[in-house]
């Protein structure tokens, strides 16, 4: 009999759950010959805003996708509220993404045929909330983010800054425990960038939502409580950054 010498991926230690909302260690992910992540670790506490910083191609988006349960890492573990993401079925992970996570990307993402109000209300509708209640919540969020006037317009008819604020309403309407934001202001001019980042930081803080914010811009990372640097697929923690 030949012994199997392949090292088993380390199981998440029990004490890793602690007060941490999401914890990951030793994440590795390759796409064919390309190593996107080789040793990435991450922690985020409830309500914390953490910026993931690094140059183009360093592995930021891959890390975000692993943490959000979109991509399965080749190695390493991820615990969300003490539950091992790797041990979950695809349907459990998609339930988590729908129910407890919010997403905001650089651009796109809104359904072009729906009005901005319907877009903002969509996650609640998909979770089974009735139309009237969902639309009322969406109106409140659009109002809060200063884009109530876009309610009846389609996403293609609004400005870039308005579009991202509608996207933010949609991302936050379910009161997610974590918002995953990948270069959320990447397509905006500096005035809109500042508006969107201020709203994102204050809205997340007031609702107790933790934010994983991927960016390569130091001025965007300055809104975070803490920075995690990514270089060649490896992470590195930085001291607390400036508050936004």
Ligand X SMILES: Nc1ncnc2c1ncn2[C@@H]1O[C@H](COP(=O)(O)OP(=O)(O)OP(=O)(O)O)[C@@H](O)[C@H]1O
Chain residues in the site for ligand X (CB under 6 A): 31, 34, 36, 54, 56-62, 216
DSSP code per residue over 149-180:
GGTTS-GGGS-HHHHHHHHHHHHHTT--SEEE
Spatial CA neighbour of 28 closest among 68, 70, 57, 71: 71
Degrees to nearest 5, angle at CA 78 with 73 and 81 = 150
What the block records as the tokens of 36 is: 């996107």
d(CA 26, CA 40): 5
Cβ proximity to ligand X: between 31 and 91 the closer is: 31
Cβ proximity to ligand X: between 68 and 121 the closer is: 68
Closest CB 208 distance from ligand X, rounded Å: 27
Closest CB 175 distance from ligand X, rounded Å: 27
Cβ proximity to ligand X: between 27 and 142 the closer is: 27
Cβ proximity to ligand X: between 103 and 141 the closer is: 103
Identify the DSSP state of 8.
P
Closest CB 62 distance from ligand X, rounded Å: 3
Closest CB 114 distance from ligand X, rounded Å: 27
Query: Are the C-beta atoms of 21 and 46 separated by less than 8 Å?
Result: yes
Cβ proximity to ligand X: between 36 and 49 the closer is: 36
Closest CB 1 distance from ligand X, rounded Å: 38
Cβ proximity to ligand X: between 56 and 91 the closer is: 56
3-state DSSP assignment of residue 6: coil
d(CA 201, CA 223): 7
DSSP code per residue over 117-155:
HHHHHHHHHHTT--HHHHHHHHHHHHHHTT-GGGTTS-G
Closest CB 229 distance from ligand X, rounded Å: 11
What the block records as the tokens of 67 is: 């943490």
């Amino acid at each position: 009999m030949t012994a199997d010498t392949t090292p088993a991926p380390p199981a998440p230690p029990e004490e890793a759950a602690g007060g941490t909302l999401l914890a990951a260690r030793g994440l590795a992910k390759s796409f064919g010959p390309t190593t996107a992540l080789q040793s990435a670790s991450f922690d985020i506490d409830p309500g914390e805003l953490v910026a993931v910083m690094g140059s183009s191609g360093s592995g930021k988006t891959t890390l975000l996708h692993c943490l959000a349960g979109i991509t399965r890492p080749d190695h390493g573990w991820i615990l969300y509220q003490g539950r091992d993401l790797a041990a979950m079925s695809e349907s459990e992970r998609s339930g988590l993404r729908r129910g407890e996570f919010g997403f905001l990307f650089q651009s796109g993402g809104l359904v072009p045929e729906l009005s901005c109000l319907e877009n903002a209300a969509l996650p609640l509708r998909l979770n089974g909330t009735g139309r009237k209640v969902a639309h009322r919540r969406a109106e409140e969020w659009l109002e809060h983010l200063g884009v109530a006037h876009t309610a009846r317009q389609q996403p293609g008819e609004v400005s870039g800054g308005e579009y991202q604020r509608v996207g933010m309403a949609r991302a936050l309407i379910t009161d997610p425990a974590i918002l995953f934001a990948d270069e959320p202001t990447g397509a905006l001019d500096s005035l809109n960038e500042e508006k969107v980042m201020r709203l994102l930081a204050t809205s997340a803080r007031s609702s107790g939502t933790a934010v994983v914010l991927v960016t390569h811009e130091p001025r965007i990372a300055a809104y975070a409580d803490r920075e995690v640097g990514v270089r060649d697929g490896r992470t590195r923690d930085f001291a607390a950054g400036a508050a936004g």
